[in-house]
Structure 1
Amino acid sequence: MGMTEIKTLEELRELSGEAMGRAHLKILDHIDPHARTLIEHSPFVLLATSSTDGTCDVSPRGDPAGSVLVLDDRTLVLADRPGNKLHDSLTNIIANPHAGLLFVIPGMNETLRVNGRAKLVSDAPFFDSLVVQGKRPHLAIVVQVEQLYMHCAKAFLRSSLWKPETWPDRSQLPSLGRILKDQIAELPVSADELDATLEVGNQTLQY
């Protein structure tokens, strides 16, 4: 396969050009009132981390809107809820504190990007504010904001993400049980049994 690889910044700039003059001005080093409002209305955030060898991971995080706490104009807190216990994000944060966040608000095409330094905490006074459905998290991720800025709507407009008429017919896509069964052939249960177990887990969502 013939590919033309871009290997230098000079090659990249020659191909794609320079950032517009005012593009850098949108990058803040703190949480302003507008960012606080968006964070408070976001029920879904993507958390990007990497290990010391550069291996990257992006983890979806979902909670009722308002669950991400803004402690002050430079500090965010996310609860860590029960998951698969692989702890990809958490082990990365221990090894390398740099993290990126992308806040998504349903129906809004613009997103909020945050870059900063993360750490794990097992208790703090604000844990009482992280309780959801009566469950207090065992861990939380505290992020010290270093960069914060709005990302334009183009990606969401191009993808028509919020337009149901563009969504694929779910029945034409494989279920998670089917995917897992095909990927892990030695599983001792059928795809239908996996789907049934997964559905029970979804209905009894744990916090």
Structure 2
Amino acid sequence: MTHEQSTFGGTPVTTVEELREIIPPPLDTAANKVRPALHELDRQWLAASPLCLVATSDAEGNLDVSPKGDPAGSLVRVLDDRTIAIPERPGNRRTDGFLNVLANPHVGLIFVIPGRGDTLRVNGRARLVRDAPYLADLQVRRNVPVLALEVDVEEVFHHCSKAFLRSRAWDPETWDAESVPRRAVLAHTLERPEQTLAEVEAHYGPGYAETIYG
């Protein structure tokens, strides 16, 4: 089955004309809100955001989306109105997104502020840098990042709240952390079957938060 086929009874939409018959073109306010550089209000948003989702693709179009998180003010550095940098922190060392950037520099980023339904979207071209003088300013606890993802901004715009309003993501009454097995159970079942559940529980126990910066 190709991406243009469906075995589940749906009718594929394969042309722009078909798509626009279903979803009309956007209003001018939405179509024309994309800007090529950061505004002071964008800078304020970036300074307040502790969470970013980074979308990348390799040369063949295989995709990856990676969350990046730090205390607000340490997540991203604005270098100028057309350049931002996101520090690398200790993780699982898969470097999926970084490997993609080496093959294809195009990236898409969504910056989130908890409690806010709107988001800031940035599209551009990225590169990996080390030994940058600003990395020392992005220290959190004892961690000084050894790499940063520098992004040349090509498009920036704010996105409305509809998705967060529909999902009620910030409404504590909708939260149900126990709706799926806890992280240790997932890891034991899918990633670490050679370890006992008790060993995996210990890994993700109270001390886990103390290891997130190395």
In structure 1, C-alpha distance between the alignment counterparts of 2:49 and 2:199, rounded to whole Å: 34
Q: TM-score, normalised by structure 2?
A: 0.91
Tell me the SS of whatever aligns to 1:23: helix
In structure 2, C-alpha distance between the alignment counterparts of 1:89 and 1:154, rounded to whole Å: 28
Contact in 2 for aligned 1:98/1:118 (Cα 8 Å): yes
* Superposition deviation, residue 191 in structure 1: 2.4
Contact in 2 for aligned 1:177/1:193 (Cα 8 Å): no
Query: Which of the residues 174, 185, 188 maps onto 2:181?
Result: 174
Computed over aligned residues only, the root mean square deviation of the Cα atoms, in angstroms, reads 1.3
Tell me the SS of whatever aligns to 1:133: coil
The percent identity for this pair of structures is 44
In structure 1, C-alpha distance between the alignment counterparts of 2:193 and 2:111, rounded to whole Å: 36
Give the letter aligned to residue 83 of structure 2. Answer: T
* Superposition deviation, residue 180 in structure 1: 2.2
In structure 1, C-alpha distance between the alignment counterparts of 2:201 and 2:164, rounded to whole Å: 30
Tell me the SS of whatever aligns to 2:72: coil
Per-residue CA deviations over 1:87-143 (Å, capped at 9, x if unaligned) read: 101100111000011000011110000000000001111112111113211111100
Match runs of 1:149-164 below 5 Å = 149-164=157-172
Contact in 1 for aligned 2:140/2:213 (Cα 8 Å): no
- In structure 1, list runs of 5 or more residues that go unmatched: none
In structure 2, C-alpha distance between the alignment counterparts of 1:92 and 1:195, rounded to whole Å: 32
Tell me the SS of whatever aligns to 1:26: coil
Q: TM-score, normalised by structure 1?
A: 0.94
* Deviates further, 127-136 or 193-202: 193-202
**Corresponding residue for 1:85?**
93
Contact in 1 for aligned 2:109/2:123 (Cα 8 Å): yes
In structure 2, C-alpha distance between the alignment counterparts of 1:62 and 1:183, rounded to whole Å: 24
In structure 2, C-alpha distance between the alignment counterparts of 1:172 and 1:156, rounded to whole Å: 19
Per-residue CA deviations over 1:13-68 (Å, capped at 9, x if unaligned) read: 11111111222221000010110000000000000000000000000000010111
* Superposition deviation, residue 5 in structure 1: 1.1
Match runs of 1:1-207 below 5 Å = 1-67=8-74, 68-168=76-176, 170-184=177-191, 187-199=193-205, 200-207=207-214
Contact in 2 for aligned 1:102/1:111 (Cα 8 Å): yes
Give the letter aligned to residue 194 of structure 1. Answer: V
Contact in 2 for aligned 1:115/1:146 (Cα 8 Å): yes
- In structure 2, list runs of 5 or more residues that go unmatched: 1-7
When the two structures are aligned, how many residues end up with a matched partner? 205
In structure 1, C-alpha distance between the alignment counterparts of 2:30 and 2:122, rounded to whole Å: 16
In structure 2, C-alpha distance between the alignment counterparts of 1:194 and 1:135, rounded to whole Å: 25
